[in-house]
Amino acid sequence: MKQTIKTSRTAGYLEKIFRALNEHYFSGVIEEPVITIQSTPRAYGHVTVAKAWQRADGGQRHELNIGAGTLDRPIENVTATVLHEMVHLYNLQTGVQDTSRGGAYHNKKFRDAAEARDLHISYDSRIGWSITEPTDALIEFIISQGWDDIMMNRKAGFSMRGVGGPGAKGGVTPPATGRTSSTRKVMCPCCGQSVRATKKVNIICGDCLVPMAEV
Pairing state between β 128-134 and 194-197: unpaired
Total tally of structural domains belonging to the chain: 2
pLDDT one-digit tens code per residue, 193-206: 777 666 677 778 77
Is residue 169 domain-shared with residue 215, that is, in the same domain?
A: no
Mean pLDDT for the stretch of residues 65-89: 94
Which backbone phi and psi does 153 adopt, to 5 degrees?
-165, 140
Among 11-25, 84-98, 137-151, the least confident range: 137-151
Is residue 79 domain-resident?
Answer: yes
pTM of the model: 0.75
Distance CA 1, CA 180 (A): 21
Is residue 111 domain-shared with residue 161, that is, in the same domain?
A: yes
Distance CA 23, CA 14 (A): 14
Is residue 189 domain-resident?
Answer: yes
| Contact predicate 45/171, CB 8 Å | yes
Is residue 2 domain-resident?
Answer: no
**Per-residue model confidence (pLDDT) at position 175:** 42
Expressed as residue numbers, the domain containing 200 is: 183-215
Is residue 145 domain-shared with residue 191, that is, in the same domain?
A: no
Is residue 172 domain-shared with residue 193, that is, in the same domain?
A: no
Question: What average pLDDT is seen over the chain?
Answer: 82
Alpha helices in 95-135 (DSSP H): 108-115
Is residue 34 domain-shared with residue 118, that is, in the same domain?
A: yes
pLDDT one-digit tens code per residue, 174-192: 443 334 455 667 777 778 7
